[in-house]
Amino acid sequence: MASCSSLFLFYLVFLNFLYLGCTETETGNETHYGTTGENHSVSLSFSLSSVPLSHNASSSQEALQSSSLVSLPKTRGHHRSRGAVPSSPSIHYKSSFKYSMALIVSLPLGTPPQPLSMVLDTGSQLSWIQCQRKSPRKPPTTSFDPSLSSSFSNLPCNSPLCMLQNPDFTLPTSCENKVCHYSYFYADGTLAEGNLVTDKFTLSPSKTTTPLVLGCTTNSSEAQGILGMNLGRLSFPSQTKISKFSYCVPLRQGTPRITPMGTFYLGKNPNSRTFKYVNLLSFPQIKSMPNFDPLAYTLPMTGIMIGGKKLNIPVSVFRPDAGGSGQTMIDSGTQYTFLVDEAYSKVREEVVRVAGRRLKQGYVHGGSMDMCFDGNPIEIERLIGDMVFQFENGVEILINKERVLDDVGGGIHCVGIGQSSMLGTFSNIFGNFHQQNLWVEFDLAGRKVGFGAADCPRSV
């Protein structure tokens, strides 16, 4: 969601997920990575509401001062400060996650630990959790009960993060009941608000993080929270000083009652020797532009092929212009891939050329996807052929023809690509639908992203 996040958080549609157990583990040339599908959402959106919880404020202030947060850029659509990426060689952690429209990880929070389901979101900065008092008369929930955690603290009003001109929030923070309350708007108009708090995550019986800054909400309309994983100083990797993290998104097999499982690493991935990397792009001269997100993982995309044909799309279409439009980012919190108008029109032109007679005229899925069909999907996939996303260093991500369409329900199948402008955004977004059966590694210290072919269910 990219952030409660992310620019492009629309239509949050969550399934109910069960708690996942977590386990600890120890720790160019042209390259094709194949991915070979269901569930339907465009991008994720979350709203937070105020929570009047109070705890030891002084311990929260001390924890924040010791957490080595440094100044750094912005979360989609608004200015942010940017933090350095220190390394944390002592963290080697492996967990499984459930995958439907989103990557749902489970991380224990608090003392003693309480299991929480959170959306792993590389498009968000601030992590947030559901905060509710648990009732012995009701079934267990995925929410967090602050009263049961001895390490929980509200962030006090005199914290450096609770300042009127804090660049991490579009609206000034405020002091409510002696607790720091924040709110800000995302580019899609979503308002996020809640109280800033701190608590510890448990990665193993002998390993906990320092107290991390989180958002806390009592809004129970959403089942999960957010694990913010972008480059911002308040993201989970920045606060924990993790230099690398990676995940393997499994294939969706089209059986609603079976939720596929993927794998998530914090720290070194033992499979990384097979990965091929592209360097992250940075554009300091336009980082303050309204359509540019300097905290996103910006990829050097170079082109798209369909059915073996290279589309006539200039590389400049995948780079931000002077106003920031055209940035290409990878976002685990957005389901589908979205392209700016010039790229999308070329993709649609080719799809219509080869399979236009079977196009469902006038049908638009999710407000942005109009390459949809109601005929035999196998025949349509054969007509369209394989799709390839091309990047610098000869890295190519192959989407086999069997994975080009997604079943959006009602007998309708759509190409898993939407038009960014129809969502009111101005970026190219590489969503999780096109990351299936791939290892994706984010090397923050090296400022690069790696890709490796995988059979993700076997990696759990």
Quickly count: other Cβ atoms within 10 Å of residue 279's Cβ.
Answer: 16
Q: Which of 121, 188, 199, 443 is catalytic?
A: 121
Mutual angle of helices 341-355 and 377-384, in 10-degree steps: 110
Contact 19, 97 (CB under 8 A): no
Long-range contacts of 220-224, Cβ-Cβ distance < 8 Å, separation of 24 or more: 220/130, 220/132, 220/141, 220/143, 222/12, 222/14, 222/46, 222/130, 223/14, 223/16, 223/17, 223/117, 223/130, 223/142, 224/14, 224/17, 224/102, 224/104, 224/117, 224/118, 224/119, 224/130, 224/142
Active-site annotation holds for 331: yes
Tokens of residue 389, six digits: 């996303």
How far is CA 359 from each of CA 37, 350, 352, 386, 424, rounded to the nearest angstrom? 20, 12, 7, 18, 24
Range list of β-strands (E), 36-178: 93-99, 103-109, 114-121, 128-130, 153-154, 174-176
Instruction: Catalytic residue, from 168, 199, 331, 406: name it.
Output: 331
Which residues does 173 contact at the CB level (< 8 Å), separation at least 6? 161, 162, 163, 164, 166, 180, 181, 182, 196
Would you give the end-to-end CA distance of the chain in angstroms? 24
Cα separation, 98 vs 20, whole angstroms: 8
Query: Quick check: is 321 catalytic?
Result: no
Active site positions, annotated: 121, 331
